[in-house]
């Protein structure tokens, strides 16, 4: 009997290790009713829900607050969408954090291309600008050191690191270092990569961000103001996660209420080469004029030519 | 080309200042000529002045070839005035400089004795006697006055001393008498030190020079510990610290580090220098080691005493301030910025960035003074508005229907605007044009902030600019 108990114990420890490796809370895998023990040993990672049920389910509860999340754009022209999504996440985190300070570590080239963060715009976007710090390091090594130090200090609600492309100086080992720091200090790092390829990294999740057409502004009576530009919409693809396939969705950031909601319009069908679904001309049938000329000759139903 | 400086051999040969180079070469074909480099001379003089900091913090440059040291209250540290002078002259001689030095009650007298006398220490009251035998040029007066005095047969200062002052003043102006009084010590003459005097300072002289970074930091921490008592006595904490390292061969390194709040804790002060040393690592050449260390407090602020709790941690620790200090020390103060608002409608003027170091807002003190605009502003603002090729669909006030920015053609799907922003005539010229801003969403879903500068008219086509990017 005693031997059986030891075997059970070992089996249990192994299960717990595997669960940790997979990043799940051990309670999810345990079938045995050993609840109180779980509560004592297993500390689940802290998550922040994005408020969209479908997405939160895909993210297993939300964005990890003790890890690194990567947001990438495929081209520099999408910098607005990438920055917008990152800052929306930061606003969500800042809202709930005890220490509200945010640090944006920018990349010089991206600043020239896409502009510097603009505080009034940030405030309207839902961030507390009083607690917004902006860093302009000269080199990538400095930026990495800064991100590491900032995350490890635990003084910030979130650290945003902006990088352009896939520099060789920021490889797998550097990203691993960053995510370990984040894990140790239990503070999130948001990695914003402009104009980059998909690359293996130790980020927990990776999003691909593109801009989507914004919905129209909602008037107080519930109708839409035609031709207006409302809250920003992002076309996001969850590229790296535990889901078997990448997940695409349209998300709207409501900067007034500081929350995400699924965008209302359906996703337009995306065919290769941006071709429209109905390739023929869609002219209305003429109503009050003469009909088109009938085809000349007689129409015969021939058999297939043999 | 003319000769501007001569060494001993050349002087013995009979060459003079201002002599033509060709003439000197004709007399002595073997002379060695080096072109004058005033900047290098200046740098050398400043390096020597830095080195002289070991004797007193008050060191002033005098022309291109002299230094004033205010040694009031310092002499006892070096065993008296004569010992101090001997020490300076000996050390400089060993470095290869021929230096004349004098100690006296006034800068003017020392200057005169150094350049026209034999140097040495002049006791108080002995100035008049020594000065009397020196030529009038030793009074630091202009060439014309010297010539005029010589013409009258007044060759030595002693001749002037016996003359009635009123006549001298009438004939040569007040400047001559002022110089005379300054030399005799009747008139106070301040020297202007090169560097601000540290508020607090602590020094360690080492018997054996040290080189390693860890040893330097350890020493800095120990000096900071000794500094703590003086800081506490004044009820202040240091904001700007400076570590001065005197290398064995006379080179001096200064490393300064700022803190975002008044600091007293020795470990934290040493921590600032840990980051600073890492960032100046390449420039700090230890050579044969450093023999003299000084820790200066250049700026301090009131700081409430806080009591440590039982765990040894002071109440109200500020991890953010620590982070700002560390980053500013390592990467420079300009790297980390915070933002402030300003009352202006012009978007780029409504905001300014300033170093986060010394920023009060994050400590929760100062609210934002300026009122933020209600109109929508972009997330990212381009440093300079970029020209855009565009035409308004509806003249004169409409948004563009398509535009070309950075060689990419965008079709405008929707537009909001215009928001008209007038120039600030009290800053800009009066000819500055109004801007009409539009929020545009293009067919691909990107959202931009574009403005038109000026208005369409019969003979004027306004320019369009891209100014910002929305999410």
**A1, pLDDT greater than 70:** no
Band (A205; pLDDT cuts 50, 70, 90): very high
- pLDDT category of residue A304 using cuts at 50, 70 and 90: low
Residue B201 structure tokens: 């300072």
Contact flag B441-A156 (C-beta cutoff 8 Å): no
What does DSSP assign to residue B106?
S
pLDDT over threshold 60, residue A149:
yes
Query: Using 50, 70 and 90 to split pLDDT, how confident is the model at B315?
Result: very low
Annotate B73-109 with b (16+ C-beta within 10 A) or e (fewer). eebeebeebeebbeebbebbeeeeeebebbbbebbbb
pLDDT score at A294:
67
DSSP string for residues in B370-419: SPPPSS---SEEEEEEEEEEEEESSTTTPPEEEEEETTEEEEEEEEEEEE
pLDDT of the residue at A272: 40
* Range scoring the smallest mean pLDDT among A29-38, A128-137, B155-164: A29-38
The CATH code of the domain at B200-331 is 3.30.1490.100
* Mean predicted confidence (pLDDT) in B448-468: 90
User: Number of C-alpha atoms within 13 angstroms, CB side, residue A38?
Assistant: 18
Mean pLDDT of A138-167: 92
Above 80 in pLDDT, residue B220?
A: yes
pLDDT category at B193 given cuts 50, 70, 90 is: confident
Domain limits, chain B: 1-36, 40-184, 200-331, 336-374, 380-469
Q: Does B6 touch chain A (CB under 8 A)?
A: no
Give pLDDT, residue A254.
92
CB-CB under 8 Å, B334 with A125: no
Residues B332-360: tens digit of each pLDDT: 888 999 888 888 889 998 888 888 886 65
Confidence (pLDDT) at B310: 58
| Half-sphere exposure at residue A195, Cβ-oriented, CA atoms within 13 angstroms | 11
For residue B402, is pLDDT > 70? yes
pLDDT for residue A34 is more than 60: no
Q: Contact B320/A235, CB-based, under 8 Å?
A: no
* Cα(B460)–Cα(B462) distance, integer angstroms: 6
CATH fold of B1-36 reads MutS, DNA mismatch repair protein, domain I (3.40.1170)
Comparing alpha-carbon positions, the chain A residue that sits nearest to B322 is: A153
Treating both helix axes as pointing N-terminal to C-terminal, what angle do B174-184 and B165-172 enclose, rounded to 10 degrees? 130
Q: CA nearest B318 in A: which residue? A: A155
Q: Which two tokens stand for residue A34?
A: 């050993």
Q: Which two tokens stand for residue B250?
A: 């006379």
Nearest CA in chain B to A228: B416
Least CB-CB distance to A134: which of B318, B353, B378? Answer: B353
A306 vs B443, more confident: B443
Would an 8 Å CB–CB cutoff place B444 in contact with chain A? yes
pLDDT (average), residues A89-93:
94
Beta strands per DSSP E along B164-215 = 200-210
Nearest CA-CA distance, residue A208 and chain B, Å: 14
Mean pLDDT of chain A: 82
Residue B325 pLDDT greater than 50, yes or no? yes
* Local confidence band at A42 (pLDDT 50, 70, 90 cut-offs): very low
Q: What is the mean pLDDT of chain B?
A: 86
Mean pLDDT (whole number) for B51-78: 88
pLDDT of B74-105, one tens digit each?
Answer: 888 888 899 999 999 999 999 888 889 999 88
Q: Which residues contact A173 (CB under 8 A, 6 or more apart)?
A: none
Question: In the Cβ-directed half-sphere of A208, how many Cα atoms lie within 13 Å?
Answer: 14
DSSP lists the bridge partners of residue B420 as B436
Pair type for strands A158-164 and A189-194: parallel
* A85, HSE (Cβ side, Cα atoms, 13 Å): 34
Question: Which residue bears the tokens 């999003």?
Answer: A207
Q: Six-digit token pair at B383?
A: 């440093």
Burial class of B224 by CB neighbour count within 10 A (0 to 12, 13 to 18, 19+): buried
Q: Which residue of B has its CA nearest to A137?
A: B335
pLDDT at B316 over 80: no
Q: How confident is the model at residue B410 (pLDDT cuts 50, 70, 90)?
A: very high
Q: What is the pLDDT of residue A231?
A: 92
Which of B:331-350 have CB within 8 Å of A? 331, 334-339, 341, 347, 350
pLDDT at A31: 45
Residues from chain B contacting residue A155 (CB–CB below 8 Å): 318-320, 322-323
**Shortest Cα distance from B424 to chain A (angstroms)?**
19
CB contact under 8 A, A80 and B380: yes
B213-233 mean pLDDT: 89
Split at pLDDT 50, 70, 90, the class of B446 is: very high
Strand partners, B442: B412
Confidence of residue A32 (pLDDT cuts 50, 70, 90): very low
Note the Cα B408 to chain centre separation in Å.
47
User: Using one digit for the tens of pLDDT, what is the confidence trace for A208-223?
Assistant: 999 999 988 888 887 8
Contact (CB<8Å) B335/A124:
no
CB contact under 8 A, B446 and A78: yes
Residues of A in contact with B445 (CB under 8 A): 81, 210-214, 233, 235
The residue of chain B nearest to residue A88, with distances taken between CA atoms, is B471
- Give the domains, in start order, of chain A with CATH numbers: 12-40 (no CATH), 47-262 (3.40.50.300)
Residue A95 in this model has a pLDDT that exceeds 60:
yes
Contacts of B416 in chain A (CB under 8 A): 228-229
Judged by a CB distance cut-off of 8 A, whether residue B368 touches chain A is yes
Residue A213 C-alpha, separation from nearest chain B C-alpha, in angstroms: 4
């Amino acid at each position: 009997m005693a031997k059986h108990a030891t075997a059970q114990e070992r089996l249990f420890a192994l299960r717990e290790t595997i669960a940790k490796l997979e990043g799940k809370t051990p309670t999810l895998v345990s079938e045995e009713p050993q609840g109180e023990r779980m509560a004592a040993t297993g500390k689940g990672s802290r998550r922040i829900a994005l408020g969209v049920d479908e997405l939160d389910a895909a993210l297993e509860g939300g964005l990890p607050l003790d890890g690194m999340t990567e947001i990438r754009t495929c081209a520099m022209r999408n910098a607005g969408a990438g920055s917008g999504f990152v800052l929306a996440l930061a606003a969500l985190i800042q809202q709930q954090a005890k220490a509200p300070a945010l640090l944006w570590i920018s990349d010089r080239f991206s600043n020239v291309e896409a502009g510097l963060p603009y505080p009034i715009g940030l405030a309207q976007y839902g961030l507390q600008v009083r607690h917004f710090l902006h860093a302009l390091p000269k080199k990538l090594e400095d930026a990495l050191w800064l991100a590491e130090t900032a995350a490890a200090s635990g003084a910030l609600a979130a650290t945003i690191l902006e990088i352009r492309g896939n520099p060789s100086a920021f490889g797998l080992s550097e990203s691993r270092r960053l995510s370990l720091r984040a894990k140790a200090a239990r503070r999130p790092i948001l990695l914003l990569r402009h104009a980059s390829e998909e690359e293996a990294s130790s980020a927990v999740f990776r999003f691909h961000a593109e801009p989507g057409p914004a919905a129209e502004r909602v008037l107080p009576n519930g109708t839409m103001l035609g031709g207006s530009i409302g809250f920003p919409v992002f076309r996001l693809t969850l590229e790296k996660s535990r889901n078997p396939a990448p997940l695409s969705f349209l998300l709207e950031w409501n900067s007034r209420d500081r929350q995400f909601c699924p965008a209302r319009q359906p996703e337009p069908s995306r065919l290769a080469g941006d071709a429209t679904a109905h390739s023929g001309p869609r002219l209305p049938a003429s109503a009050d004029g003469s009909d088109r000329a009938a085809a000349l000759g007689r129409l015969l139903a021939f058999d297939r030519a043999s | 080309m003319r000769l501007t400086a001569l060494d001993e051999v050349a002087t013995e040969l009979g060459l003079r200042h201002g002599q033509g180079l060709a003439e000197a070469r004709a007399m002595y074909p073997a002379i060695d000529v080096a072109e004058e480099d005033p900047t290098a001379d200046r740098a050398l003089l400043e390096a020597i002045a830095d080195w002289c900091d070991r004797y007193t913090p008050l060191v002033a440059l005098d022309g291109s070839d002299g230094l004033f040291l205010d040694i009031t209250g310092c002499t006892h540290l070096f065993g008296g005035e004569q010992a101090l002078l001997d020490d300076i002259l000996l050390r400089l001689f060993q470095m290869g400089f021929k230096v004349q030095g004098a100690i006296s009650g006034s800068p003017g007298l020392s200057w005169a004795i150094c350049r026209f006398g034999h140097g040495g220490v002049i006791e108080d009251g002995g100035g008049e006697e020594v000065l009397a035998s020196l030529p009038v040029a030793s009074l630091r007066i202009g060439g014309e006055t010297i010539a005029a005095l010589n013409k009258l047969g007044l060759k030595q200062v002693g001749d002037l001393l016996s003359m009635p002052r009123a006549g001298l003043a009438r004939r040569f102006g007040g400047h001559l008498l002022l110089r005379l009084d300054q030399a005799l010590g009747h008139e106070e003459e301040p020297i202007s030190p090169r560097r601000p005097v540290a508020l607090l300072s602590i020094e360690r002289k080492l018997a054996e020079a040290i080189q390693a970074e860890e040893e330097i930091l350890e020493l800095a921490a120990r000096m900071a510990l000794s500094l703590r008592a003086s800081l506490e006595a004044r009820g202040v904490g240091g904001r700007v610290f400076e570590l001065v390292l005197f290398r064995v061969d006379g080179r001096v390194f200064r490393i300064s580090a700022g803190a975002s709040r008044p600091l007293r804790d020795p470990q934290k002060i040493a921590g600032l220098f840990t980051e600073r040393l890492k960032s100046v690592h390449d420039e700090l050449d230890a050579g044969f080691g450093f023999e003299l260390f000084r820790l200066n407090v250049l700026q301090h602020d009131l700081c409430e005493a806080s009591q440590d709790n039982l765990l040894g941690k002071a109440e109200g620790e500020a991890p953010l301030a620590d982070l700002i200090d560390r980053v500013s020390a390592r990467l420079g103060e300009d790297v980390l910025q915070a933002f402030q608002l300003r009352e202006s409608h012009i978007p780029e003027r409504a905001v300014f960035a300033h170093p986060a170091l010394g920023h009060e807002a994050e400590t929760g003190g100062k609210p934002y003074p300026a009122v933020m605009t209600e109109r929508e502003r972009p997330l990212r603002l381009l440093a300079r508005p970029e020209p855009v090729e565009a035409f308004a669909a509806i003249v004169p006030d409409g948004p563009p229907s398509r535009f070309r920015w950075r060689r990419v053609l965008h079709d405008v799907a929707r537009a909001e605007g215009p928001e008209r922003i007038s120039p600030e005539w009290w800053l800009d010229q009066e000819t500055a044009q109004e801007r009409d801003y539009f929020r545009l969403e293009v067919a691909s879903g990107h959202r931009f902030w574009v403005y038109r500068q000026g208005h369409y008219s019969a003979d004027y086509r306004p320019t369009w600019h891209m100014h910002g990017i929305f999410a």
